[in-house]
Amino acid sequence: MTEPPEFRDPVRNVPVRRVGPPRPGEADAGDDSRDAVVVEHRVQLVLNSRPLLWINCLPEALEYLAAGFLVSEGLLDGAEAIDEITVAPDLARVEVHGSVDPDRLVLFRERLSITSGCGGGASAAEAEEALPQCESNVRFQPDDLTDRIREMAAASTLFRDTGGVHAAAVTDGRSLSSFAEDIGRHNAVDKAIGLCLMHGVSLAERAILTTGRASADILAKAARAGLPVVVSRGAVTSRAIELALAANVTVVGFARRGRMNVYTAPWRLGFEGGEAQ
């Protein structure tokens, strides 16, 4: 893997006309007010010299975004299937060379759909029979997961500066194995997964944390990457629950201090129900 180019400032200060009283602690700047907005960039993902799709994203950690996307969409079987990742100097193109099953590529192109995500996310439509069964018997303490959710939120400096990004992280319960921010929740999840993949971190005994909604496409990404637990600070959709039940993945929503909703495979968090066979 080639070294990624130096990332430009992810925040841009732009002129703004503010309407209404200043926020608490903010001086009234009148017509000279400026606002910090997150940078949005359009990147082409190229697989084995053929354009695959365009992604609207925060132009940061693009090599991890590419790796995470290709594995979580089932096109590549882990980091070992990747030969090389090259990021263009202008950050407009990421090229990946690796071992791809031609039939999977055809199926991906046939099933490619716009997701429910923000940031122009795209994903192959998911189906129960297409998702691998999660065989991990890992256990987590609920308090550890909510602690890591708070740690992830505290690390999201771009959100505090702009309010314009989602965050995602992979954890073993004790610490964050990876952390990523992006304008789209799918991209943030792919980056967090890709960072672990490219650094040899096994996902079979870890959980993916996200600030975004846990919809079916997020659940499918986790299942394909081999993650046994999905934890969201927000809501979980009915389709995500159906897929989680079919794939034996634990899915958790509204994870905040001291509380959470556990929808599937609660035994991984020490609760009765749906015990591993």
Return the active site residues.
Answer: 118
CA–CA distance, 156 with 10 (Å, rounded to integer): 13
**Reduced to 3 states, what is the DSSP secondary structure of residue 99?**
coil
- Phi/psi of residue 200, each to 5°? 70, 25
> What is the CB neighbour count within 10 angstroms for residue 24?
5
48-to-9, 44, 221 alpha-carbon distances in Å: 30, 13, 22
A 10 A CB-CB count for 93 gives 16
Structure tokens at 106: 């055809």
What is the distance between the alpha carbons of residues 11 and 51, in angstroms, rounded to a whole number? 28
Alpha-carbon distance 15 to 188, whole Å? Answer: 28
| Residue that has been written with the tokens 């609207």 in this structure | 56
Helix (H, G, I), strand (E, B) or coil at 94: strand
Structure tokens at 70: 């290709």
| Residue with tokens 């882990």, as numbered in its chain | 78
Distance between CA atoms of residues 178 and 193, nearest Å: 8
Please, where are the H alpha helices in the chain?
Answer: 62-72, 102-111, 142-155, 157-162, 185-198, 216-225, 238-247
Question: Regarding beta strands 41-47 and 50-57, do their DSSP bridges make them parallel or antiparallel, or are they unpaired?
Answer: antiparallel
